[in-house]
């Protein structure tokens, strides 16, 4: 079988892999000093979270054991099984290969022309490679490949099959295919002798087989769940009769069984039931259906606090174990956008807390830690990152060896010529990891999305730039040379990063960063006390992690007050808006002050903390950047400026002289131009610099504009960035 399989798998697995996902969690600090305002909902106090586990030592954190480069550019890792008996790792990829690795060293032992989902039978030393839902080359018939794990030889094929399930004790095999609405009905489920691979018969029902050793019974997934007797080869009943009686099976909005997973050690059958939807997504995903695997009685996952299903990038999901009496349950919404929540329940199923903007991919009950899609190691008692591993999508976990296996996630630092790599991690035994050190390097040829000079720029000539997918750079020589800041700072494609400086930055070197990725992933708040070299997460009590703005008290060095503004979407019950958090201890603890249905409904910083109210310029952008307006009466009335952007372009940003309005100079940045007004927006002239006047298009248009504080000689600097990673420091003399 030489198929190049492009897996589809369950939608949950795809979301986990490609939406970088995630979001969900719990625990928050007590709300103190709520300030009700019109249109806002005061937030009731919530109990303080438990203290972090005190028995953790620096050796209890996950650690990376090895990274193995396996696939060519454009290919992805598909599935994995760990064979402790043979000391091997089996990995398939989407380029059509099965890789066999030595488990101890990671060295490749073989590469075979088979690909798909893997099922390992260590007892009989067999490995089964099944196409699953993968796309096969034209004309190729789906078949399950059967490998001998001692010789790595192909010993047979099971034709017209995409899925296989094993009866290890009886050494029987069951094969089948998924049913699709409007498609030809596939063959019935077939039964084979595991030793000879000879057919024993078939059960008169097509679908995906799942064998239950606790009852010597077969489940057949075919939009619903049928039960069958594998000895008599008969269908005996069904678990979800309501799905069988839908008037129009396969219609948009109808429910259908997608996958079923048996966990004998937990006595659970977990069935994923998904709404059939168009490409935009179905909205809120219903929770899986749970059944007692011995009695087949339906179970209530909420009332009985059953473990949640953790999707993986491989074919076998995990159960999320309870930790210190708490159950972690994740909710998912997909309808053109993706939202994620994490709810925390007690042993009786009562809600303790929840989080927006955080996704857990693995939970370890012994260390009381979880790992997120971004690679954060989370202390579950405080829901705060305590260490870090490389970002990965989990393929498999082996309990006996306590090993995690994952595929590297999208990495802005990865060369276009690199494919996904396999990561092997020990779930514990490593020291704290906070990220690499600062790296001197030029700005990359990516958009400069934000520019912020140091408050002490007149002395330190330091300026920060956010580039591309949220990478933060620092220059200490007015933009002539650059250093990429890491040290634990969030990274990743699509990251929106916001900086805020201590007013005494020149003395305390303290700055904060906050960010988010789209609607589904929050990064919380981070603090550096050494000018950006190292960063510490400040998440304690921060229920909403999609923070879009920060504000520090003008007396921060004395009162340690700061504010965080964050967006949130609560899925159960539905609630959407923005929240204002306040910290009185420099970000170590947060309390939720209030929420509002719109961001504009939250109070400005100067209403909440000692802050210098901004001086609004007498110039503003109008008509979504198509016009400029100026005022000569303090904003009572506005007039349209004579300056208009060239056809097809827009005004992007405004900046004023450092001591505006005493110096009424105003600057406006357009897609391809920079202009200056010496009189508060009444008259305008182009900035006289040939570097900025070069031919520009959407590849190298301008992106952001900023102004430094005044220097000792009375001059100041104007900073301009572009889509091509260009950065200019322009001198303005009095």
Q: How confident is the model at residue 35 (pLDDT cuts 50, 70, 90)?
A: very low
**What pLDDT band is residue 7 in, cutting at 50, 70 and 90?**
very low
Residue with tokens 């010529």: 417
Question: What range defines the domain where residue 56 resides?
Answer: 11-430
Min mean pLDDT across 31-40, 353-362, 607-616, 709-718 is at 31-40
Quick check: is 657 in a domain?
no
Helix residue spans in 186-257 (DSSP H): 241-244
pLDDT value for 612: 73
Residue 13 has pLDDT above 50, yes or no: no
pLDDT at 611: 79
What number is the average pLDDT over the span 720-732? 97
Residue 253 has pLDDT above 90, yes or no: no
Using the predicted structure, report yes or no on whether residue 82 has a pLDDT greater than 80. Answer: yes
Q: What pLDDT score does 617 carry? A: 83
Instruction: Residue 193: count other Cβ atoms within 10 Å of its Cβ.
Output: 13
- Number of Cβ atoms within 10 Å of the Cβ of 628: 26
* Contact (CB, 8 A) for 522 and 544: yes
Is the pLDDT higher at 295 or at 135? Answer: 295
- Long-range contact set of residues 56-61: C-beta below 8 Å, sequence gap at least 24: 56/367, 56/368, 56/379, 58/431, 58/432, 59/428, 59/429, 59/430, 59/431, 60/367, 60/369, 60/428, 60/429, 61/367, 61/369, 61/377, 61/386, 61/387, 61/428, 61/429, 61/430, 61/431, 61/432, 61/433
CB contact at 8 A, 551 and 597:
no
Arithmetic mean of pLDDT, 681-685: 96
Distance separating alpha carbons of residues 665 and 686, to the nearest angstrom: 13
How far is residue 403's CA from residue 350's CA, in Å, rounded to a whole number? Answer: 32
Question: Cα(330)–Cα(517) distance, rounded to whole angstroms?
Answer: 18
Residue 521 near residue 357, CB atoms below 8 Å: yes
Check whether 103 has a pLDDT greater than 80.
yes
Confidence of residue 419 (pLDDT cuts 50, 70, 90): confident
Question: 3-class SS at 459?
Answer: helix
Band (pLDDT 50/70/90 cuts) for residue 59 is low
203, pLDDT greater than 90: yes
Determine, yes or no, domain membership for 466: no
Q: Cα dist. 208→94, 263, 296, 612 in Å?
A: 22, 17, 18, 65
pLDDT at 34: 30
pLDDT at residue number 231: 98
Model confidence pLDDT, tens digit, residues 223-235: 999 999 999 999 9
Q: Where are the beta strands (DSSP E) in 358-468?
A: 360-364, 369-372, 376-379, 384-388, 392-398, 403-408, 421-430, 439-440, 448-453, 463-467
- Would you say residue 497 lies in a domain? no
Q: How confident is the model at residue 106 (pLDDT cuts 50, 70, 90)?
A: very high
d(CA 693, CA 696): 8
Supply the DSSP symbol for 53. P
- Return the pLDDT at 135: 87
Question: pLDDT tens for residues 329-367?
Answer: 999 999 999 999 999 999 999 999 999 999 999 999 999
pLDDT band at residue 74, thresholds of 50, 70 and 90?
confident
In this prediction, residue 489 carries a pLDDT of 93
Q: What confidence score (pLDDT) does residue 56 get?
A: 43
**Quick check: is 153 in a domain?**
yes
Model confidence band, residue 161 (pLDDT cutoffs 50, 70, 90):
very high
Using the predicted structure, report yes or no on whether residue 43 has a pLDDT greater than 60. Answer: no
Query: What is the token pair recorded at 674?
Result: 């920079």
Greater pLDDT, 548 or 50: 548
Across the chain, what does the average pLDDT equal?
Answer: 89
> How many structural domains is the chain composed of?
1
**pLDDT in the model for residue 418:** 62
Q: What pLDDT, on a 0 to 100 scale, did the predictor assign at position 469?
A: 82
Assess whether pLDDT exceeds 60 at residue 22: no
Query: Residue 156: inside a domain, yes or no?
Result: yes
pLDDT at position 5 over 50? no
Q: Which one is predicted more confidently, 32 or 682? A: 682
Mean pLDDT (whole number) for 519-526: 96
Query: Which pLDDT score is estimated for 712?
Result: 96
Q: Assign residue 290 the CATH number of its domain.
A: 2.130.10.10
411 pLDDT band, cuts 50/70/90, is low
Give 30 or 687, the one with higher predicted confidence. Answer: 687
For range 522-534, the mean pLDDT? 98
Distance CA 580, CA 565 (A): 5
Q: Is-contact 62 427, C-beta < 8 A?
A: yes
Higher pLDDT, 547 or 23: 547
Kindly state the percentage of the chain with pLDDT values over 90.
79
Instruction: Determine the pLDDT at residue 711.
Output: 97
Residue 107 has pLDDT above 80, yes or no: yes
- Flag whether pLDDT at 154 surpasses 50: yes
In a domain, 295, yes or no: yes
Domain-located, residue 65: yes
What is residue 14's predicted lDDT score, i.e. its pLDDT? 40
Check: pTM over 0.85? Answer yes or no. yes
Residue 354: partners with Cβ closer than 8 Å, 6 or more residues away = 24, 25, 26, 341, 342, 343, 344, 543, 570
- Residue 375: inside a domain, yes or no? yes
pLDDT in tens, 439-488: 999 999 999 999 999 999 999 999 999 999 889 999 999 999 999 999 99
């Amino acid at each position: 079988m030489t198929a190049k399989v492009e897996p589809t798998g369950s939608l949950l697995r795809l979301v986990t892999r490609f939406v970088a996902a995630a979001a969900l969690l719990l625990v928050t600090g007590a709300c103190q000093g709520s300030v009700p305002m019109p249109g806002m909902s005061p937030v009731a106090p919530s109990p303080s979270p438990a203290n972090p586990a005190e028995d953790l030592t620096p050796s209890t954190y996950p650690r990376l054991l090895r990274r193995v480069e396996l696939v060519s550019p454009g290919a992805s890792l598909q599935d994995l099984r760990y064979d402790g008996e043979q000391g091997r790792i089996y990995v398939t990829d989407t380029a059509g290969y099965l890789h066999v690795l030595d488990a101890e060293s990671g060295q490749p032992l073989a590469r075979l022309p088979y690909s798909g989902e893997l099922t390992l039978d260590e007892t009989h030393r067999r490995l089964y490679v099944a196409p699953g839902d993968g796309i096969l080359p034209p004309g190729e018939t789906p078949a399950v490949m059967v490998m001998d794990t001692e010789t790595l030889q192909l010993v047979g094929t099971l034709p017209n099959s995409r899925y296989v399930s094993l009866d290890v004790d009886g050494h029987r095999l069951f094969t089948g295919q998924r049913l699709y609405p409007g498609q030809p009905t596939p063959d019935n489920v077939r039964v084979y002798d595991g030793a000879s691979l000879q057919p024993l018969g078939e059960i008169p029902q097509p679908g995906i087989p799942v064998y239950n050793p606790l009852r010597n019974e077969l489940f057949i997934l075919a939009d619903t769940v049928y039960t069958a007797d594998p000895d008599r080869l008969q269908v005996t009943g069904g678990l979800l009769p309501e799905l069988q009686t839908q008037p129009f099976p396969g219609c948009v909005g109808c429910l259908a069984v997608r996958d079923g997973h048996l966990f004998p050690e937990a006595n659970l059958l977990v069935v994923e039931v998904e709404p059939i939807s168009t490409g935009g997504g179905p909205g809120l995903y219903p929770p899986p259906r749970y059944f007692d695997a011995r009695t087949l009685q339906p179970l209530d996952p909420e009332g009985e606090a059953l473990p949640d299903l953790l999707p993986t990038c491989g074919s076998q999901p995990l159960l999320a174990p309870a930790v210190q009496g708490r159950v972690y349950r994740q909710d998912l919404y997909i309808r053109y956008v993706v939202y994620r929540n994490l709810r925390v329940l007690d042993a009786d199923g009562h809600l303790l807390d929840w989080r927006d903007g955080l996704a857990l991919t693995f939970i370890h009950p012994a260390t009381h830690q979880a790992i997120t899609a971004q690679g954060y190691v989370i202390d579950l008692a405080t829901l705060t990152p305590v260490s870090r591993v490389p970002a990965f999508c989990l393929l498999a976990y082996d309990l006996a060896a306590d090993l995690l296996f994952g595929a590297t996630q999208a990495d802005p630092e990865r060369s276009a010529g690199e494919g996904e790599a396999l990561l092997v991690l020990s779930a514990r035994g490593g020291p704290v990891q906070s990220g690499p050190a600062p790296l001197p390097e030029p700005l990359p040829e990516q958009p400069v999305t934000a520019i912020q000079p140091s408050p002490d720029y007149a002395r330190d000539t330091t300026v920060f730039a956010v580039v591309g997918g949220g990478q933060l750079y620092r220059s200490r020589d007015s933009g002539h040379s650059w250093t990429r800041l890491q040290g634990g700072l969030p990274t990743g494609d699509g990251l929106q990063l916001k900086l805020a400086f201590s007013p005494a930055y020149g003395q305390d070197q303290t700055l904060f960063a906050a960010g988010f990725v789209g609607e589904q992933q929050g990064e919380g708040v981070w603090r550096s006390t050494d000018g950006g070299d190292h960063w510490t997460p400040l998440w304690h009590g921060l229920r909403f992690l999609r923070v879009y703005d920060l504000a520090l008290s003008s007396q921060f060095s004395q009162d340690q007050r700061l504010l965080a503004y964050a967006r949130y979407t609560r899925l159960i019950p539905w609630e959407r808006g923005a929240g204002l958090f306040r910290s009185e201890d420099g970000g170590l603890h947060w309390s939720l002050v209030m929420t509002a249905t719109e961001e504009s409904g939250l109070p400005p910083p100067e209403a909440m903390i000692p802050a210098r109210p901004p001086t609004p310029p007498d110039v503003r952008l109008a008509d979504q950047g198509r016009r400029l307006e100026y005022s000569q009466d303090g904003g009572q009335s506005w007039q349209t400026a004579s300056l208009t952007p060239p056809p097809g372009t827009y005004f992007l940003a405004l900046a004023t002289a450092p001591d505006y309005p005493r110096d009424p100079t105003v600057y406006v940045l357009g897609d391809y131009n920079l202009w200056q007004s010496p009189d508060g927006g009444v008259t305008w002239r182009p900035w006289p610099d040939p570097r900025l006047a070069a031919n520009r298009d959407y590849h190298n248009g301008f992106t952001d504009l900023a102004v430094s504080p005044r220097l000792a000689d009375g001059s100041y600097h104007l900073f301009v960035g572009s889509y091509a990673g260009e950065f200019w420091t322009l001198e303005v003399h009095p």
